[in-house]
Amino acid sequence: MENIIQSVKNFRWTTSELIVYQAIFCFVVIWCQYKWIRRNFEKVAAKMKGPRGYPFIGSSFNFIGTPEQVMKKILKLDDRFSPGPFKIWMGPYFGVIIIKPEDVQAVLNNSKALQKDRFYDFIKNIFGEGLLTAPVHKWRKHRRLITPSFNSTLLSQFFPVFNEKNKILIRNLKKELGKTTPFDLWDYIAPTTLNLICQTAMGYNLDTQSQYGSEFENAMIKASELDSLRMKSPWLYLNFMFKLYLKLKGHSDVFNTLYKLPLKMIHEKREAFAKRKILKKPDAVDVTDDERKKLKVFLDTLFELNEAGANFSDDDIKDEVVTMMIGGSETSAITISFSLLLLAIYPDIQDKVYDEIYEVFQDSDETITIEDTTKLVYLEQVLKETLRLFPVLPLVFRELQDDVKIVSDGHVLPKGTTCVISILGTHHYSELYPNPWTFNPENFNPENIANRHKYSFIAFSGGPRGCIGSKYAMLSMKVAMSTFLRNYSVQTHYTFDDIKLKLDLLLRSASGYPVNIQQRDRRPTYIRNKKL
User: Which range among 186-190, 243-247, 406-410 shows the weakest confidence by mean pLDDT?
Assistant: 406-410
Asked if residue 477 lies in contact with residue 336, where contact means CB atoms within 8 angstroms, the answer is yes
Between 282 and 528, the higher pLDDT residue = 528
Q: Would you say the C-alpha torsion 456, 457, 460, 466 has a positive or negative sign?
A: negative
| pLDDT in the model for residue 36 | 66
Between 44 and 515, the higher pLDDT residue = 515
- Residue 388: which of 475, 482, 463, 458 has the closest Cα? 458
DSSP 383-432: HHHHHHHS-SS-EEEEE-SS-EE-SGGG-EEPTT-EEEEEHHHHHT-TTT
Q: Please state, rounded to an integer, the average pLDDT across all residues of the chain.
A: 87
Phi, psi of 38 (to 5 degrees): -90, 5
Between 23 and 478, the higher pLDDT residue = 478
Asked if residue 258 lies in contact with residue 220, where contact means CB atoms within 8 angstroms, the answer is yes
| pLDDT in the model for residue 37 | 66
Q: Is the pLDDT of residue 8 over 90?
A: no
DSSP 440-484: -GGGGSHHHHHTS-GGG--BTB-STTS-TTHHHHHHHHHHHHHHH
* Region of 516 on the Ramachandran plot (φ > 0 left; ψ -120 to 50 alpha; else beta): beta
- Give the separation between CA 531 and CA 279, rounded to whole angstroms: 67
pLDDT tens profile 430-440 = 999 999 999 99
Please compute the mean of the pLDDT values over residues 355-380 and round it to a whole number: 92
| pLDDT in the model for residue 289 | 45
Asked if residue 128 lies in contact with residue 318, where contact means CB atoms within 8 angstroms, the answer is yes
| pLDDT in the model for residue 62 | 74
Q: How far apart, in Å, are the Cα atoms of 404 and each of 48, 105, 150, 237, 401?
A: 16, 12, 32, 28, 9
Count the residues in the chain. 532
pLDDT tens profile 168-221 = 999 999 999 988 999 999 999 999 999 999 999 888 888 766 778 889 999 999
Q: Is the pLDDT of residue 318 over 60?
A: yes
Tell me which amino acid residue 271 is. Answer: E
- Residue 106: which of 387, 410, 393, 384 has the closest Cα? 410
pLDDT tens profile 507-526 = 999 999 999 999 987 777 77
- Residue 404: which of 135, 109, 107 has the closest Cα? 107
Please compute the mean of the pLDDT values over residues 477-500 and round it to a whole number: 96
- Give the separation between CA 302 and CA 310, rounded to whole angstroms: 9
- Give the separation between CA 482 and CA 376, rounded to whole angstroms: 9
Q: How far apart, in Å, are the Cα atoms of 505 and each of 67, 222, 257, 339, 388?
A: 10, 11, 18, 20, 17
Q: What is the DSSP letter of 176?
A: G
- Cα separation of the two ends of the chain: 121
Q: Is the pLDDT of residue 338 over 80?
A: yes
pLDDT tens profile 133-167 = 999 999 999 998 888 878 777 788 889 999 999 99
Between 346 and 1, the higher pLDDT residue = 346
Asked if residue 425 lies in contact with residue 97, where contact means CB atoms within 8 angstroms, the answer is yes
| pLDDT in the model for residue 531 | 53
| pLDDT in the model for residue 530 | 67
- SS in 3 state form for 491-522? ECCCCHHHCCEEECCCEEECCCCEEEEEECCC
Please compute the mean of the pLDDT values over residues 404-418 and round it to a whole number: 86
| pLDDT in the model for residue 212 | 81
Confidence of residue 297 (pLDDT cuts 50, 70, 90): confident
Between 400 and 16, the higher pLDDT residue = 400
Residue 413 sits at the vertex; the CA angle it makes with 411 and 415, to the nearest 5 degrees, is: 160
| pLDDT in the model for residue 60 | 75
Sequence-distant (≥ 6) Cβ neighbours of residue 131 within 8 angstroms: 139, 142, 143, 146, 320, 323, 468
